[in-house]
Amino acid sequence: MSLQVQYNRGFTLLETIITISIVSVISVLVIPFFSRFLIQNALMTSYDTTIVMIRKAYTYSYYGRNGSNWGIYNNGNTLIMYSGNSYLLRTVQYDETVTLQPKITISGLTEVNFTERTGAVGTAITFTVNSPYQSKTIIINKLGQVY
C-alpha cells in the first residue's frame, strides 16, 4: 500500500491580502514622487519651448524676415510669436502659437518685441517660468540675447 501526498497549489487568502497590502503601501508612497517628476518635466519642456520661441523671434527680426519686427506675447499659458511692431498691430497670418504644459505659468512677461535688423529689445527683460515646485528664470539683455 502506498501513500500519496497531495499538494495544494495556489495562494492562500492571507498571502493574497499581504501582497495587496504591500502593493498598496508602495503605490501610496510612489504616486507623489511620480507626480512631482511629471510636473518638473513639464517645467523643463515649457522652459525649453519658451527659449526656442524667443530665439526664433530674435532671429526672424535680426534677419528682417517679412521686413518687420518680431515678438512674443504671453496670453496666460499660451505663447504667441508674431510679426509686427506690437501684438495688437501684428500681421495675424504669421502668428505661431504654443500652449504650455498644464500647471506651468510665466510671470514677468506680457510682451517682448525685437527690433528689425538688430534684434534689440531696448531694455533687459527678466521673467520666470514657474511650476508648483520650482521655477526657471530667463533673461533677455537689451541686445536681444537670451540667457
Report the pLDDT averaged over residues 7-30: 89
Question: What φ, ψ does residue 117 adopt, rounded to 5°?
Answer: 75, -15
pLDDT score of 3 more than 70: no
Confidence of residue 107 (pLDDT cuts 50, 70, 90): very high
* CATH domain 13-140 topology: minor pseudopilin epsh fold (3.55.40)
Q: Is the pTM of this model over 0.85?
A: no
